[in-house]
Structure 1
């Protein structure tokens, strides 16, 4: 019998394809589509930016929406804006007036009171169907330029704000055997760069919290997701640019793309919530970063899982090139500053 090398190659390739297909079939989480029409939704940080546009998107889907933030005057204006805009949106399937509760996510007692009030506004509902933790802020300065108080406050709001809200809403969701908790992280949580030294860890903590929480309670009917926004044109983004370090500005400006709009981010979130995706990303860079950072996160799409498998190594090589360029930008900025001093 004559050995034919290509037959061996074909046989091995067939075994590998079969093995990969088997892993994909076994590993993918099959989550039913979530019906948002009539859903009871809480959006923290819903008075401005991504949270506000996300609340509008939920309202256009016919959900009962309650938004929260710390400032009542801003909340009142936001609710009026949501209701006025949605009434004139031809895509709206069923209109329910948005409502609000005042909430400081960094204060667990205030969170408990606000969640109870929100459920009362929703007709005494036993639990929310969807909770989006969108409250947060960034102070993208260099580590030594960021006051310790500000660094602690970011962790209190960005991370513990999610923990405090999840602790209040999870129990009733488990009793109802259904629910969705959506935590807003950031691309910086997976790919920290200079200038996000105190901000990125707060968002990385959110990602880790989301993954562990989903693993603990998915079998009981409650799923958790994480949203990783890129640069999004919001009032918060404009404020960040007033304190952003020079190297951070240059790194974020690489590629020359304009920030996404809050509505674009909101629409991506809605799509990821309706058709469950553990990570919700926006834009080519966001999707590629999602592929690169997925690791042991639960896949909900066979296509995404295959993409992560096939392109993971290539993305790693591209990533280290970007990282080298980032280090170069920081060195260049530091040299320019040193030259000015001399």
Structure 2
């Protein structure tokens, strides 16, 4: 506890109900730094409690919708994210630092100020209709969850999948939400043609830990039911155990894989906790608030797997870590996957042959403006 006591000489930050981050840490691009100080005026009674933080959704007109990457440790080249920010509030989310580009906090702002790319379906259709467009699988919702709560009302993800379905374009989706079940009427026929895969992220089976770690995502038991529903509908589904957090979710690794295999998952992957940029201090605050007795042990193990640092961004190590503990974790995962038959990956290649290019949108007729 020595390090924790030194970092928080008065008291660690208090958690907020229904939120992952416990602070609204400033983004790295802000020029002015602000520090909250307790001057003794707050008595700490119920009347002094801060009001519940409400989620705000802002509509934006995106300029483009497909993102391409060349990272050798990511199994896709093209991704699509209908939303910026994510109300699920997962404290470990590697996308949190992207809110800094908006002049907002990667902390509470990231999970309470959501930007919806309201023109995403139209942009996708326009992209697919380009003469030089070459189809390759699109990864849907890898940065922020495409099925986060606001999707129930806006249905951007639904409209995107309708386009992919209608034009036979393959894609893979990853989510922590049961809302994906809503779209099984589109996913199932695409699965029959070998055009879709799904993955459900499950970090732990402990509902209490999940409630603080990823507060507004579906419960672990509900996600298992989603895996079963997708599997029974003939949709290839895998489990992503991401991230593996030492001494927090790591003890659950084998049990998560066993439960997912029983539910019908056919493949599995894992990623070791990543703490890029502002995620590191946000995660440390979360540890201090929820697991103060384990905080030093957790960070010591993270440093063991990250070359003595909070994070190593090199392609060779950023996903799995390095060193003895990373090797041991890989051995545990590989043995469990082999025992459970989760490494078959018989649906690893998506079929491109059904893609048909949309007709280009008709240019507006200026003559019509006269009538």
TM range (shorter): 0.3 to 0.5
**Richer in helix (by share):** 1
- What TM-score do the two structures reach when normalised by structure 2? 0.37
